[in-house]
Amino acid sequence: MEKFFNCSGPCVPSKHYMVEVRSQFQKLQNLVDQERYFIMHAPRQTGKTTVVNQFVKHLNEQGHYIALYTNVEAGQALRNQVEKVNNLIVAELEQSAMVSLPKEYQPSEACFEIHSIEIGMSTFLSKWCLELPKPLVLFIDEIDALIGDSLISVLRQLRQGYTQHPRSFPQALCLIGLRDIRDYRIYSDETKRYVIGGSAFNIKEKSVRIQDFTLDQVRNLYEQHTEATGQTFTPEAVPYLFEQTNGQPWLINALGRELCFEEDAIPRDQTVTKDHVDEAIERLILRRDVHLDQLADKLTEPRVARVIEGILIGTETEEASQIPWEDKQYLVDLGLLRKGIHGDEIANPIYREIVPRELTSVRQDRLGQNPAWYILETGKLDIYKVIGRYIEFYKEHSELITARKTYTEAAHHLLFMSWLQRIVNGGGYIRREYAAGLGRLDLCIEFSGERFAFELKLNSRHVLKKGRQQLADYLHRLSLPSGWLMVFSRGEVTDWDQVGRREHLTEAGKQIEVIWL
């Protein structure tokens, strides 16, 4: 069977191209040998389950421990039904043991004689560990799928059983989820208050985070495809792919699949180029696979919106400046946010493209613009018509700014980007640069061999001085002679004759047109 790039579920060495995971084993081995209870966390589809499954196999082959992986995600549907969640976890442990362990290591009937629904899981584990000839090492995945009192019950049972380990409770235990347990705020219906995860599971000694792929790992992954099929990549293609994904494992594999295995895959006798990567990225974004769809869905959450809005406009809003640290950490744990040189920024260029597109997708469909109206007979984009018609459109439909209920500070930016995206779709690309400390949003339209640069800023006291300098720097980086500085009003318009006013300036040898909206 031909190996392929895997985008769903754990990787299997015999079926999938895989990054070497054994480099993760030593730190996990140390924690197991030291009888520690710990957390493994990372965003979805970054390889947590793959690493754990391979490590469990490694431990069992060593012969010093009995290692078991189980998944408790099904408990989410049971919510606060503590008894049913306890029963489900015991059943999952039994099922996992039946599938993964020899008969002599599987729990006996006596282990299931549980007399208290509140400590059913703890009692089962204690009895089972006493039966086993070797210490048990347990990995519990999707722990953060559990909710409220059910999660509190599980964490407290593990904390209580910890005092009996390693003789009559797992020698080492790992809870696996999206977030570090210290960041959990669990609402208890029973006590009508929030419980901090760290207090319910204060035996945690370490948090292990699965890291994104390095450039060398990405090269190795794609070299596996070259060795298996003979298909090659240009020297620029793989580094560019890494740059666009920042090593995010699902994106790396999804692009590999798109480039090499899907209907629009590059024929095996052709070399994959940087342009092919761009085309694959665009198809991936437009198709909105589950991973990207889940990411986009998070943008509607208020705590996410407050952070993202400040990043979009290039500066923290007053509301965003008061966001608790744990809310920003939530976005980091989702894999949506990272610290960049200018402050908080979207984790990679592909996500950076998805965010504004998702926030403007509905608006694009309602603009009533036919992209063909803006294409010249030569196939080039009539950028002056694009800008002129937008000014007219804004004057006629300014309520689209004031009526927005979310991302209100970024409403101007989003409407203008909706306009551009609607027109450029299908014939070109928009490249965007934005971060919370950047002070603006930069974008570059690439269409039919031409490039057009824009800088978007909210009006402020020194907006013209800063804006022209920033745009000139951007133009120098792009090697373009001219560009547009779009300055958006922060408040209600009082003089419509001034809306759309234009100024032509020169800054550091670059021609700049300022448009006030």
The per-residue pLDDT for range 257-302, each reduced to its tens digit, is 999 999 899 999 999 999 999 999 989 888 887 787 787 788 888 8
Peptide bond into 166 cis (omega under 30): yes
Contact in structure between 282 and 427 (CB atoms under 8 Å): no
Q: In whole angstroms, how far apart are CA 466 and each of 42, 178, 194, 485?
A: 39, 40, 46, 11
Q: What distance in Å separates the CA atoms of residue 299 and residue 285, rounded to the nearest whole number? A: 16
The conformation of residue 381, written as its DSSP 8-state character, comes to B
DSSP secondary structure, 178-244, as one string: SS-GGG-EEEETTTTEEEEHHHHTTT--EEEEPPPPPHHHHHHHHHHHHHHH---B-TTHHHHHHHH
Integer CA distances (angstroms), 114 to 93, 123, 155, 247, in order? 15, 7, 18, 46
pLDDT of residue 489: 85
Looking at residue 436, its pLDDT comes to 79
> Amino acid identity, residue 262?
E
**Half-sphere CA count of 80, side-chain side, radius 13 A:** 9
Token pair 């603009």 is found at: 367
This prediction has a pTM of: 0.84
Give yes or no for a contact between 171 and 62, defined as CB atoms under 8 angstroms apart. no
Residue identified by tokens 């015999």 is: 14
> SS3 for 366?
coil
| pLDDT at residue 115, as a whole number | 67
Q: Are 141 and 72 in contact (CB under 8 A)?
A: yes
Q: Which of 444, 449, 448, 502 is nearest to 475 (CA)?
A: 444
Low-confidence ranges of the chain (pLDDT < 70): 115-119, 181-205, 316-321, 362, 364-366, 402-404, 426, 493-494
Which residue type does 461 have? Answer: R
pLDDT at position 54 is 93
Question: Are 292 and 255 in contact, with CB atoms under 8 Å apart?
Answer: no
List domains and CATH numbers for the chain.
22-209 (3.40.50.300), 215-287 (1.10.8), 293-516 (no CATH)
Angstrom distance (rounded) from CA 330 to CA 183: 8
Please report the pLDDT score of residue 183 as a whole number.
62
**Are 334 and 178 in contact, with CB atoms under 8 Å apart?**
yes
In the prediction, which pLDDT does 202 show? 62
- Residue 480: what pLDDT? 95
What is the pLDDT, as a whole number, of residue 47? 85
Residue with tokens 């929030």: 194
